[in-house]
Every structure is written in structure tokens, then in C-alpha cells.
Copies of this chain bind each other. A is one copy, B any other.
């Protein structure tokens, strides 16, 4: 049986693999991300390796096997469908959905998953712009171009905002910055200085200053001539 704890490990390994550009995930990084001690992580990795859900090269790191990745993607799918459902159907604020979804994601049955999916009209991204894996376990591409890489004058649509910090999400929402919104970078100040951005293209639209930490949470996608999915 795959327990809730195992699902959490697999999900987190998946996330760290994504962030880490392919290298195996270290025990320490995993333990920290899960807020457990390193020995606890080692112990669980052994169990997961026995179930062929991860490949564990002692002292070198872990990688998900295809089976493990499938489980991870199911959990991520449940998480993101829940986030979407809580926001769209129950009126949650976008900064509040992550925590709630984390608690519920391990208990979503196939039936509930299917009904939420249908009620939402088969969404492809969650409220933060993160792509929702398909039922078959395919993760669509995510918006991955950091806002700070846009040159002055360049513009695009906000594709995704990291869901890690509710306070940042509230702040950004207060500025009108969330996925789907058009953004123009007016100026990128040197020495890791702030970005001057304009919401939309219109010269009269509101402008804001974003520090680098905040900007790092925002990922852009190309402006879409034929306004597509929501």
C-alpha cells in the first residue's frame, strides 16, 4: 500500500527533480522540503525503493521510477484540481487554496477527481498558472520564463506565479498581478535592483516596482494572439 506519507515523499521528490534540472535529489534537500530529519528521509527512501517507486543510489540521491512519477503526478493532479475547485466553486482566495489542497489531496477518489474536473470544465492550469497533469499522467509544459529575463519594453502574459508564499500572492493580487494578466517590463534596474512593470500595454495603466525576490516568483508566457484557454 502507498501511504499518505509515501505520496508526500514522491510528490516532493518530483518537485525537487523539476527544480533541480535532472540531477538526483539529495536526502538532505528532500528532508528539509518535507520538514523531517534526514534519517527519516533515508528510512522512507528505502521503503520506496523496495516498492520500485524510486531508485535510491545510497549517498548519491534519489530518482523517481516511472511508477513513482505516475503516483507523484496523480497527487499533483489532485492537488491542482482541488486548488482550482476551491477557488472557482467555493470562492476561496488564491492564496488560501494551497494549504487546504495539501491536506485533502491524498483522499481524493477517482470519482471525486472526475466530478471536480467536469464541474470546472476540464481545466488545464490551476489558479497559480501551474499546469494540471492529465488523468493519464502527462504533465503539460509550464510557463517557465522568469519575469526578470524580459528586456525593458518587452511584454507578455503572466503564465504562472509560485504558490509557495500566501503573503506574496496576496500582495501580487493587490497589484492586479495574477496568471493571464498582460505585463510590460518598462525597466530592469541593475545590481539586482527592482523591475518597473506596467499592468497591460496601455501607457495609462498602473505601474509597479517589484523587487527581485517577488519577480522571481513570476513566470511569463508569450502573448497569445488568439486568446486561448483560461
Contacts and interface: CB of A to CB of B under 8 A. Distances in A.
Interface of A: 86, 89-92, 96, 100, 103-104, 107, 109, 111-112, 115-116, 119
A111 B115 contact: no
Main secondary structure, interface of A, reads helix
Contact of A109 (B100, B116, B119): B100
Nearest to A115: B90
A103 B109 contact: yes
Nearest to A91: B115
A115 B92 contact: yes
Task: Indicate how many identical chains form the complex.
Answer: 2
B103 A107 contact: yes
A112 to B, nearest CB: 6
Nearest to A103: B107
A116 B90 contact: yes
A113 B111 CA distance: 21
A90 B112 contact: yes
* Of listed A92, A103, A119, residue having the most chain B CB within 10 A: A103
Contact of A107 (B89, B91, B104, B119): B104
Contact of A111 (B96, B104, B116, B119): B96
Nearest to A104: B107
A113 to B, nearest CB: 11
A96 B111 CA distance: 10
Nearest to A106: B107
* Of listed A86, A89, A90, A119, residue having the most chain B CB within 10 A: A90
